[in-house]
Amino acid sequence: MVIRKKLMMMIFVLFIQIFASNAFGDTYFKQTECQLHADINRNPPSNNNDIWTLTVAHFSEWKYGDTFLFMDIETEPTFKQTPAAMYFEIAPRFSMDKIFERDFLPTSFLGELYITFQYNGADVEYIPTSWLAGLSIDFLGQPNYGFSNLSLFVKDSDRKTAYQDKSPYQNDTSWQVTFAWGQPFNLGPLQMEFNGFLDYWEANSLTIKDKTYRILLAEPQLRLKLSSFQGKDNFLSNSVVGTEIEISNHFFAEEGGWRVNPTLFFAVVF
């Protein structure tokens, strides 16, 4: 029931954001994507828990910045259709250059300076509800309309009381560094993309006094656009197939160490 209520709330927020960007941002870039992943051995800490993950992501620009949000819904193993967990992020950025009408970073390889906020919500014990605030910058000069940006956050995490004894880390205020990228490229006639993100942050141990962990989570994707075969006037022209590799260290638990979770996915962009 809790998952269902949170799921409905997040879907409502997502549709409001998409509607607002379509209604008021016709002159600005916007994109929504639905991904269906077959996750191999995804659910910690047990092995051989193959699940489906549905990801809905949306990005839209507006006059004074941009907004990115996404929602992951994971199913019960093994490849059942029953929802078991949900995670979502909402991450607006506000351009200081555009608000104050001046260049804060007058360099050839750095773009605008942003004030950024983020809310992370989840209903699984190893991911806390978190508020983040900080600065973000874009990197310029990537070919084929590629992008990359770096964000530096102060992070405040609040683990739910029901999960406190199961959570590997304490409630605390720390820091997080996030690097996100997307790079289209061609491999002969094939239209490819290399996208992803890397989060790196610090958290205090729940079981060992004064012990801190540096936690890493990265999800690079290698994507093949089906427009390579279908042209521009077909449903598959806006579709992608690919693989995502989730690479993590101490993400699921203090003693968990490194984990590598591969997926295969199909995505539709609209």
In 123-249, which ranges are E strands? 129-139, 147-158, 172-187, 190-204, 212-218, 221-225, 239-249
Residue 115 is predicted with a pLDDT of: 98
Per-residue pLDDT reduced to its tens digit, 179-233: 999 999 999 999 999 999 999 999 988 888 888 999 999 999 999 999 998 777 7
Domains of the chain: 2-29+56-71+84-260 (2.40.230.20)
189's tokens: 């006639």
Q: Are 135 and 116 in contact (CB under 8 A)?
A: yes
The reported pLDDT for the residue numbered 110 is: 94
Q: Rounded to the nearest 10 degrees, how much is the dihedral formed by the CA atoms of 222, 226, 228, 230?
A: 180
Residues of the chain with pLDDT under 50: 1, 23
* Residue 234 near residue 243 (C-beta atoms within 8 A): no
In angstroms, rounded to a whole number, what is the distance separating the alpha carbons of residues 254 and 176? 17
**Rounded (5°) CA angle 233-268-32:** 110
Long-range Cβ contact pairs of 76-84 (< 8 A, separation 24 or more): 76/51, 77/42, 77/43, 77/48, 77/49, 77/50, 77/51, 78/48, 78/49, 78/50, 78/51, 79/38, 79/50, 79/51, 79/52, 80/51, 80/52, 81/52, 83/3, 83/4, 83/7, 84/3, 84/43, 84/51
Q: Are strands 65-75 and 83-95 parallel, antiparallel or unpaired?
A: antiparallel
Q: What is the pLDDT of residue 27?
A: 81
Cis peptide before 128 (omega within 30 of 0): no
Half-sphere exposure for 184 (CA within 13 Å, toward CB): 10
Residue 9's identity, in one-letter code, is M
* pLDDT score for 40: 86
pLDDT given at position 46: 58
pTM of the model: 0.89
Q: What CA–CA distance (Å, rounded) separates 269 from 8? A: 22
